[in-house]
Structure 1
């Protein structure tokens, strides 16, 4: 059994190989390996692993989710039969603190990541399906288009209100706005077409749309931002991933204010918050839940966060059960069971 710690950079990979002779013990092998983060470098890394007697299912590769630069090497090693784990960089940071690690270099980081894998046994990563990857890319591109459109609208407003506005500059700005509007229509069409061509995507979007406050685009966003969370068994895990889990502050006689962690996927958290804004205005169970909280003296934002977490839990249940949202459903009493 081997554990490979991989420190991923934009242009280079630093690897550290550990052998696990028995549970709870590990032995560093050699001095590590540095290769370029390219297809050629990935092949060199595989050749080095084989030369060291590692590789295949008996080798667990642990790396941080460094932007997008980990994806290609993860796929290469996965296709070579290795067991891949992609972990949050915060986990490695706090693990380093627990070992009183002081120095920081790429080689030290690779060694630290390998030791983390040998001690903590992180969850296995599986590559997402191709249609989800494509849908995620399209939705991220849509977010960029919307953001740029907002920027250009602000620029146009500012230029139009100058004492002596330039018609030429305004023309350039309007041309950019027209291009962005055209691209927004195109990306919306692409997203809808992709959902319609995939039976599984269409089924999951239909399930999520049955929940009040969640529309087609939001449903697609929820699917792509949670595409690697299918193995989770509890909605609390989803809430933690979205940064919507509560963080209590209490020590001795001191009790501070509880707030959400905000450690997690900001896109997912924002999506559920916006869904909560919509659902809070409705005359149904979700709207009544929000109004009940505010009537009890809860601040509006606190009530919205609570509603966002409730919507997340309902979305998790709907996808796990494969059944549309039923407002009349009541969880069976433990006494009745």
Structure 2
């Protein structure tokens, strides 16, 4: 299991990163006012705003370096991160959050349980004792993880041939877009657990199909 100290360090640094990213977005929104204000009015904050954003971006770079250092110091974590990043759509931030959410893949027995935790596994709803309703995903989910998986799925349908073909086919069948995306999120989760369990990089066999 990921050492508790390492986990706490990774979590607090990642938390600072999240706050820094949010602050950058907040200060960058000030620039949106430039087209509505006179040069004299906007000029009173333009320079200070630019300095603040530049400072925050430097701090963000330092936090990213710290996160990389913490992961490199743990051989198992570093290996797992490389495996995760071999999956199309999964980058630095998502791989780090996956390591934290799973505690180095020690807290979830299988992909299905993690899909439930992430709010991407559908559940059947029933009315009374026998009437089945539509399947829905659980609202008791890690919303950050769900958001990251959503971003991964959007990237995957652009650059991953297998998932792109699946999404295009389902759209042609008239399936609901969000249902299709949720199914892709589930496929991504199963890929995640497959590479970790096999300890080998993801290989898209779809491109070798005749």
1:232 to 108, 112, 128: 108
Per the alignment, residue 58 of structure 1 pairs with none
C-alpha contact 2:117 2:140 (8 A) present in aligned 1 = yes
Q: How many residue pairs align between the two structures?
A: 204
Larger C-alpha radius of gyration, 1 or 2? 1
Q: Which structure is higher in RCO with an 8 Å CA cutoff and minimum separation 6?
A: 2
Q: Determine whether 1:155 maps to 2:30.
A: yes
1:259, 1:303 → 2: CA distance?
Answer: 13
Q: Which runs of 5+ in 2 are unaligned?
A: none
Structure 2 matches for 1:178-217, cutoff 5 A? 178-217=54-93
2:45, 2:196 → 1: CA distance?
Answer: 49
C-alpha contact 1:242 1:262 (8 A) present in aligned 2 = no
1:213, 1:289 → 2: CA distance?
Answer: 16
2:149, 2:74 → 1: CA distance?
Answer: 24
C-alpha contact 2:88 2:160 (8 A) present in aligned 1 = no
Per the alignment, residue 186 of structure 2 pairs with 309
2:35, 2:28 → 1: CA distance?
Answer: 10
Q: Give TM-score scaled by structure 1 length.
A: 0.55
Q: Determine whether 1:249 maps to 2:125.
A: yes
Q: Give TM-score scaled by structure 2 length.
A: 0.85
1:310, 1:132 → 2: CA distance?
Answer: 27
1:198, 1:275 → 2: CA distance?
Answer: 25
Cα gap change, 1:167 to 1:307, in 2 (>3 Å): same
Per the alignment, residue 204 of structure 2 pairs with 327
Per the alignment, residue 277 of structure 1 pairs with 154
2:72, 2:2 → 1: CA distance?
Answer: 22
C-alpha contact 1:243 1:263 (8 A) present in aligned 2 = yes
Q: Give the root-mean-square deviation of aligned CA atoms.
A: 2.4
Q: Which has the higher strand share?
A: 1
C-alpha contact 1:244 1:262 (8 A) present in aligned 2 = no
Q: Please report how far the alpha carbon of residue 259 of structure 1 lies from its aligned counterpart in structure 2 after TM superposition.
A: 2.2
Instruction: Render the CA deviation track for 1:76-102: whole Å, top value 9, x for unaligned.
Output: xxxxxxxxxxxxxxxxxxxxxxxxxxx
Instruction: Render the CA deviation track for 1:123-173: whole Å, top value 9, x for unaligned.
Output: xxx885322322222222212111111111112322563245243333332
1:226, 1:242 → 2: CA distance?
Answer: 11
